[in-house]
Amino acid sequence: MLSPRQAFEDNIRPAELLLRVYRLLENDVVQTEGDLITSLRSLVGAKGDEELLLIYNELFIGLIRERANFPRASLKRSALSNLLRQAIVGACTALETYLPSLLGTHLPTVIEVKGRDFFPSDPELRESFKDLTFSLSDTLRLLGDPNAPLFIANKILRSTSYKYLGGSKGVHAVASLLSIKNPWQQIAKHLGQEEIDMNLSPDDDNQPFNQLKKILDDTTIRRNDIVHRADRPQKKNVTEQQEITFAWSTLAVNTVMHVCLALDELVAIRMVDLKTNYEKTTQAS
């Protein structure tokens, strides 16, 4: 069975691949004639009346023959931009499949080790789980049941399946449930961001963790625009697609990847600490 990290890396790989493909196909003009075309025509044995399309940049030389039935318009930047849009969709999908997997893997351990104190005091998190209830039969089942942590974890996981675990709030919720305090501050520090400025408000945009959160949320919003509105912003009277660049798309995909990898490492460290402290407490008692 794949670990949450392995599954995430498998799911983020198509997004990275789409960025690379865009970079290979990126061109200022598709050439159809010239000395290079003449040389390649002879090399591939193409007849004089066969249309050849040549993509040439500092990374890639690509020749498309007529029988490929590949429209020249498909190589325009406006058409290639759809590769970038799908990279954004793929990155968000990787995030949204990773978070429930991470929670399902480690939440039973947190519940077993921390007991009734496992649930964070975070008001926002408590509000989101206010509808989670345990019936009398559930409560009776938990009495003396060695599998109680797994039962409670599965109950919470079923509850999260009806909620949207994505964006910065999804990362915060999963990390908090897995006993990571101040998740975004820790993620920023783990990624080597500048130290938190205690003279600034936690809500200040200049805080490094808020910058990471903004990129992640902007990426999620853009994914929703792409999927639901063909990349039109959710504003009235806006009919044109938003522009998208290779630089921004790379930043978005890499931010998703770096945040998830940092979270994975933080959770792994935290699980070791919890188990070690639990074993010491058990032995002492």
Instruction: Tell me the mean pLDDT in the region 131-145.
Output: 64
pLDDT band at 162 (very low <50, low <70, confident <90, very high): very low
- Per-residue pLDDT, 208: 72
Instruction: Tell me the mean pLDDT in the region 128-139.
Output: 66
Backbone angles phi, psi at 55, to 5 degrees: -105, 130
Provide the β-strand partners of residue 56. 61
Provide the β-strand partners of residue 62. 55
Say whether both 101 and 170 belong to one domain.
yes
Residue whose entry in the numeric block shows the structure tokens 């509850």: 159
Amino acid at site 46: A
pLDDT in tens, 188-208: 999 988 665 555 566 666 677
Say whether both 129 and 254 belong to one domain.
yes
Dist. CA 53–CA 72, nearest whole Å: 7
- Per-residue pLDDT, 175: 94
Q: How many domains does the chain fold into?
A: 2
Say whether both 95 and 205 belong to one domain.
yes
pLDDT in tens, 64-92: 999 999 999 999 999 999 999 999 999 99
Say whether both 97 and 41 belong to one domain.
no
Say whether both 53 and 131 belong to one domain.
no
pLDDT in tens, 233-279: 987 677 889 999 999 999 999 999 999 999 999 999 999 998 887 67
Q: How far is CA 199 from the centre of its chain?
A: 31
Instruction: Tell me the mean pLDDT in the region 39-44.
Output: 92
Say whether both 90 and 41 belong to one domain.
no
Q: How many beta carbons lie within 10 A of that of residue 184, not counting itself?
A: 23
Say whether both 87 and 195 belong to one domain.
yes
Say whether both 255 and 218 belong to one domain.
yes
pLDDT band at 123 (very low <50, low <70, confident <90, very high): confident
Which range of residues forms the domain containing residue 259? 4-28+76-284
Q: Does the pLDDT at position 25 exceed 90?
A: yes
The pTM assigned to this predicted structure is 0.86
Say whether both 48 and 154 belong to one domain.
no
